[in-house]
Amino acid sequence: MAEEIAVTDMTVDQAREALARLSALLGQANRDYHGADAPTISDAEYDRLKRRNLEIEERFPELKRGDSPTDQVGVSPSEGFGKIAHKVSMLSLGNAFEDQDVADFDERIRKYLGMGNEPLAFTAEPKIDGLSLSIRYENGDMVYAATRGDGSTGEDVTANARTIADIPQSIANAPAVLEVRGEVYMSHTDFEALNVWIAEENERLEAAGKKPKTVFANPRNAAAGSLRQLDAQITRQRPLKFFAYAWGELSEPLADTQMEAISRLQDFGFVINDLTKVCDSTVGLISHYKMIEERRATLGYDIDGVVYKVNDLALQERLGFRSTTPRWAIAHKFPAELAWTRLEAIDIQVGRTGALSPVARLAPVTVGGVVVSNATLHNEDYIAGRDSKGATIREGKDIREGDWVQVYRAGDVIPKVADVDLSKRPDGAVPYAFPELCPVCGSPAVREEGDAVRYCTGGLICAAQAVEKLKHFVARKALDIEGLGAKQIEMFYEDPDLPIKTPADIFTLAVRDGANLTKLANRKGWKDKSVDNLFSAIEDKREIAFARLLFGLGIRHVGETAAKDLALHYLTWEGMSGAAEMARPAALAWRAADLAEEQERVAAQAEGRRAKVKESRDTAMAAHEVSSGAQAVWDDLTGIDGIGAAVGLSLTDAFANERERGEIDRLVGMLTVVPPDAPTQDSPVVGKTVVFTGSLEKMTRAEAKARAESLGAKVSGSVSKKTDLLVAGPGAGSKAKKAADLGIETIDEDGWLALIEGL
């Protein structure tokens, strides 16, 4: 655009004309982007035009058009929001509930950093119960705002964020790149006013025979509903507020400490929480926590705990992250709210792993602003009044249908039953008999020695397991297939013409529908458009991230974090499945050794002697004759930070089970598995296998390992031909010798630090 005029030089007519042209241009770009065709302009150009449009509007507010691109969230309302990939992931926080958890947090950090009792300062600030938002500024101008989403990709809510008064549109003297993060929330007064307005509006709507609007259950829902409004004009009418408490990508550091960094955000024009305080010990943290807890009811907005962060940013950097949470911060939650109600019935749900979970059906009761009518009862021991080790809980009181029970909600998790009031137990109430047959498929439900949970043995013949596995597969954190949720899965599972019985069936759905006489589009509840949307949402997921796919398979113990850790370690699907297969004999030996150890302990206790743990393990292992290759693959698998024998066992089980493996292979054959991004592309140690030996003086072993892994290296415990680098501290012995024999490069701790310096 050669004829582009500087906004400051524009006449009114030129501005009007420019706005009209930009609106058309950006509108077309939006349609191209979201239609089947490829985008016509680059993201950068799109952002630039959008910014230019906004600048003109700011200079000539009276010229702002009704169809202004500023108020459009990048996508037409029918399609939802555009997606934004976070440059730096948006993480969640680990939780502390008791004072002891806070002491443990401090202890863990000291241990990780190799600190003694020297002072360690933290900030403490309220944990705002809203939803997190990341706002990106480039050269001081807001370029976009995104919700957290799944942590790596959020929704583009720029137009809505621009309506929030606490969020500056532009910042003076800001770093070239600045991402400010914090919490969007709604105050109690605004929340009540909004609901009063909705109630009045609904009377009118109902009188006119129209569909009423939702009355929000709590300020958090109201804030989320408003921020995720597709019409920015509606968001504008709903007073949202924002506290800044963190940052994402930065072109230069903000400060040396958390507290200074936050006050710089305040200088930039953000609102920071005035209850943020530096404390120099956990005693200080707890006392600030108590103070905030006392003021909770009068703050005027919802908070659900206090967040503690290591104040020194250099230490934060050293501490780094576990896959989804920082090591340097924790949320100290307030105790859950409690309520009493009637337990009407106990139902059994069969989960995707076959676990039988007892669920309490309750007379509805409000707990912490939310109506609760179901709660978990954990397992049969919990109902009977015992914990997993057989010790009594609730003074041994069991829970029966008809009982008066106390329920609570801790954070976002499913409500739980805490206590029972025996004085209100109805006459004739009988102890609950936990089923020994699966209530869905009738197969025996067995409980293994030492396990708290009873499992249905029906496997895939059990409809409940199959359906739950499928629901898990399509869930948001797994394949996340739009338009294919729990309801649709249940429907397709039972469908005689177009069944989905396994994940692979999802990817043959369109082809099978094409071959059927009765098309999905001709059925009740479906239209051409909705069928098209479903099939294209499925097509979109043919290319799928390794970790999502693995998590989606629903293998026992392989949760989101383990899936990410495994993906990062193996990088390719073939690499992981091959390893799982190869490690199998070693996994079986490990299981046998574990069993032998357990038996030896029991025997030793009975005979009043010391258990010969090592011997019994060794004997069991020897009986298995595991090849050194299989052993090495198993050691490598279970040596991944965060992956233990439990994950290793279920992974190897899944890949060794002929039927399950067949299903997995059939599915994977239809997909393109996308490897994870290597953590740091330009690191000199990426993909290298590093071994640390001897004593390290400037960092602990845990820190060295985590740091190396975050730079893309694999850390192994033993030297082999595959080792690329040995880092040897003083006192290094056999490993250094072996490395020398194998001609492996060996450096000392300082050499290592020099190598990774500045990364």
> Which residue number, 199 or 255, has a Cβ lying nearer to ligand IVH?
255
> Which residue number, 292 or 576, has a Cβ lying nearer to ligand IVH?
292
Phi, then psi, of 430 in degrees rounded to 5: -115, 150
Measured CA distances, 264 to 127, 175, 190 (Å): 20, 11, 28
Give 47-70 as a DSSP string.
HHHHHHHHHHHHH-GGG--TT-GG
Measured CA distances, 540 to 17, 41, 101, 479, 731 (Å): 39, 22, 43, 10, 55
Phi, then psi, of 132 in degrees rounded to 5: -85, 150
> Which residue number, 187 or 457, has a Cβ lying nearer to ligand IVH?
187
In whole angstroms, the minimum distance from the beta carbon of 154 to ligand IVH comes to 11
Which amino acid is present at 500?
Answer: I
**Cβ contact 700:112 at 8 Å:** yes
> Which residue number, 296 or 624, has a Cβ lying nearer to ligand IVH?
296
Among candidate residues 715, 694, 590, the one with its CA nearest the CA of residue 649: 590
Residue 341 to residue 407: CA distance in whole angstroms: 8
Q: SS3 for 153?
A: strand
Q: At what angle do helices 560-570 and 645-656 cross, to 10 degrees?
A: 80
> Which residue number, 30 or 132, has a Cβ lying nearer to ligand IVH?
132
In whole angstroms, the minimum distance from the beta carbon of 90 to ligand IVH comes to 6
In whole angstroms, the minimum distance from the beta carbon of 321 to ligand IVH comes to 8
In whole angstroms, the minimum distance from the beta carbon of 288 to ligand IVH comes to 13
Per the structure block, which two tokens stand in for 518? 């009765």
> Which residue number, 326 or 503, has a Cβ lying nearer to ligand IVH?
326
**Cβ contact 469:490 at 8 Å:** no
> Which residue number, 105 or 245, has a Cβ lying nearer to ligand IVH?
245
> Which residue number, 195 or 324, has a Cβ lying nearer to ligand IVH?
324
Among candidate residues 147, 139, 142, the one with its CA nearest the CA of residue 50: 142
Q: Which residues bind ligand IVH (CB under 6 A)?
A: 91-93, 125, 127-128, 132, 148, 183, 245-246, 307, 326, 329, 331
Helix (H) or strand (E) holding 127, with range, is strand 122-128
Q: SS3 for 752?
A: helix
> Which residue number, 331 or 699, has a Cβ lying nearer to ligand IVH?
331
In whole angstroms, the minimum distance from the beta carbon of 93 to ligand IVH comes to 4
Residue 573, number of CB atoms within 10 A of its CB: 19
Residues facing 347 on adjacent strands: 359
In whole angstroms, the minimum distance from the beta carbon of 629 to ligand IVH comes to 41
> Which residue number, 224 or 329, has a Cβ lying nearer to ligand IVH?
329
In whole angstroms, the minimum distance from the beta carbon of 266 to ligand IVH comes to 14
Residue 12 to residue 581: CA distance in whole angstroms: 71
- Beta strands (DSSP E) in 210-328 are 241-250, 277-279, 303-310
- The position carrying tokens 């025979």 is 209
**Cβ contact 713:705 at 8 Å:** no
Among candidate residues 270, 235, 304, 264, the one with its CA nearest the CA of residue 73: 235
Give the active site residues.
127
Chain mean position to CA 92: 7
In whole angstroms, the minimum distance from the beta carbon of 205 to ligand IVH comes to 33
In whole angstroms, the minimum distance from the beta carbon of 128 to ligand IVH comes to 4
In whole angstroms, the minimum distance from the beta carbon of 486 to ligand IVH comes to 25
Phi-psi region of 366 (alpha: psi -120 to 50; beta: other; left: phi over 0): beta
Residue 50 to residue 143: CA distance in whole angstroms: 9
> Which residue number, 331 or 643, has a Cβ lying nearer to ligand IVH?
331
In whole angstroms, the minimum distance from the beta carbon of 337 to ligand IVH comes to 18
Q: SS3 for 326?
A: strand
In terms of DSSP bridges, do strands 745-747 and 725-728 run parallel, antiparallel, or are they unpaired?
Answer: parallel
**Cβ contact 194:186 at 8 Å:** yes
Residue 293 to residue 503: CA distance in whole angstroms: 47
Residues facing 357 on adjacent strands: 349
Phi-psi region of 743 (alpha: psi -120 to 50; beta: other; left: phi over 0): left
Residue 544 to residue 528: CA distance in whole angstroms: 26
**Cβ contact 495:523 at 8 Å:** no
